Structure formats: structure tokens, C-alpha cells
């Protein structure tokens, strides 16, 4: 488990309370010690993927919901950062970049861009969100009034129902764009 145990601990508390279950009941259903769950909810410990999965099953929630950070207007995740879990039984690490709200539609695009021609987009329908991962090069991305410089491997999400910009800072900058509309 990487650093964001605080994100997971908040998610555990939030989802256990939402389900109306006691600490003891969730621990029993997940097959983990009550003290282990208590430590995790307090923001301590280093849970494995298997432990977190068992807790999700006990809470009847999708795995990603535990790792949802508090809602912000804009989110940036640098390469090597972000909520992640590792498996005990394989050389496998998963970094959650974003979850999909119920009923949302997502379109995925591969962008190839060059410096010198900013892409300023008009607002999309209300509630739209864009997610971008820079795969090659560097770019200035985000809201027109507060764009963020990103390097290969960095991630950003921002509301797309306001003016937003993508400006390549290096030749042949590439990115994956996920456009989410409710």
C-alpha cells in the first residue's frame, strides 16, 4: 500500500457508516480481525490488496470506492503518486486515477499535439469532467485561469463545463483524454 492510507481510511469509515454496520460486523464479514479494521479506519497499517478486497465484499461496494479521494475541482496525480495497492501473491500494483460516477458516459481519445497552437475548449455540458494522462512530452493543461504543467506519466482531472486548455510544451506531445459526461 502506498502513502494514501488516509484516503482509504476515510473511505472505510464513510462506507461502513453508509451501510449502517458496526466495526465488528464488517470485520466478521470480511474475515479480518476487528483490531485490524480499527487500525485501518484510524489511518494506520499497510493493508494488502486481498484485505481491502475482502472489506469491499463485506461492504458490498466496488473496490475503487474505497480509494476515492474527497471531491476537488481539479486533481493532479504525478507519476509514482496516487492511491495504490499491491498484491501479496503477484508482482502487481494498481494505481487508481479516477472512478466513474453512476450513469456517466466516457469517451477515450489519444491526443497528438505540437507546441504553438493552444487548444482552448469552450465549456461542455454541465457536469462534464475531463481526465488526461500525458504519455509523451510536456503540456500545460487544465482550467484556462489555472493550468498545470504536466510531464509524461502525470494525470489531471478538471471540470470541463468551463473553458479549459491543452498547450503542448514539447514537439510530439501525446496524451490520453477521457471525456466524462453525465
Residues 6+ apart with CB under 8 A from 179: 106, 107, 108, 109, 124, 128, 130, 160
Residue 72 has pLDDT above 50, yes or no: yes
Interhelix angle 49-59/34-41, rounded to 10 degrees, is 100
pLDDT cut 70: percent of the chain above it = 87
Does residue 87 have a pLDDT over 90?
Answer: no
User: Which grid cell is 30?
Assistant: 470480511
DSSP annotation string for the chain = --STHHHHHHHHHHHHHHHT--HHHHHHHHTS-HHHHHHHHTT-S---HHHHHHHHHHHT--HHHHTPPPP-S-EEE-TT-S-EEE-SSSS-EEE------TT-EEEEEEEEE-TT--EEEPP-STT-EEEEEEEESEEEEEETTS-EEEETT-EEEEESSS-EEEEESSTTEEEEEEEEE-
- Whether pLDDT at 1 is above 60: no
- Please name the residue that has the C-alpha cell 472489506: 55
Q: Where do the domains of the chain lie, and which CATH numbers do they carry?
A: 5-73 (1.10.260.40), 105-181 (2.60.120.10)
pLDDT, one tens digit per residue, over 116-165 is 878 888 888 888 899 999 999 999 999 999 999 999 999 999 999 999 99
Average pLDDT, the chain: 85
How far is it, in rounded angstroms, from Cα 112 to Cα 99?
25
- pTM metric for this prediction: 0.55
- Taking the C-alpha atoms of residue 13 and residue 35, their distance in angstroms, rounded to an integer, is 14
Amino acid at each position: 500500500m502506498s502513502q494514501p492510507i488516509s484516503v482509504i481510511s476515510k473511505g472505510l469509515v464513510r462506507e461502513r457508516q453508509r451501510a449502517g454496520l458496526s466495526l465488528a460486523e464488517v470485520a466478521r464479514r470480511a474475515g479480518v480481525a476487528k483490531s485490524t479494521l480499527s487500525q485501518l479506519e484510524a489511518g494506520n497499517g499497510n493493508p494488502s490488496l486481498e484485505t481491502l478486497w475482502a472489506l469491499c465484499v463485506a461492504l458490498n461496494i466496488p473496490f475503487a470506492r474505497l480509494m476515492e479521494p474527497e471531491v476537488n475541482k481539479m486533481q493532479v496525480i504525478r507519476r509514482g503518486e496516487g492511491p495504490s495497492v499491491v498484491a501479496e501473491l503477484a508482482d502487481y500494483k494498481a494505481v487508481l486515477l479516477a472512478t466513474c460516477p453512476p450513469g456517466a458516459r466516457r469517451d477515450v481519445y489519444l491526443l497528438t499535439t505540437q507546441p504553438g497552437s493552444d487548444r482552448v475548449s469552450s465549456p461542455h455540458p454541465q457536469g462534464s469532467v475531463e481526465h488526461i494522462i500525458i504519455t509523451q512530452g510536456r503540456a500545460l493543461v487544465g482550467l484556462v485561469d489555472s493550468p498545470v504543467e504536466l510531464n509524461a506519466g502525470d494525470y489531471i482531472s478538471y471540470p470541463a463545463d468551463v473553458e479549459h486548455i491543452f498547450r503542448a510544451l514539447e514537439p510530439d506531445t501525446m496524451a490520453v483524454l477521457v471525456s466524462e459526461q453525465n
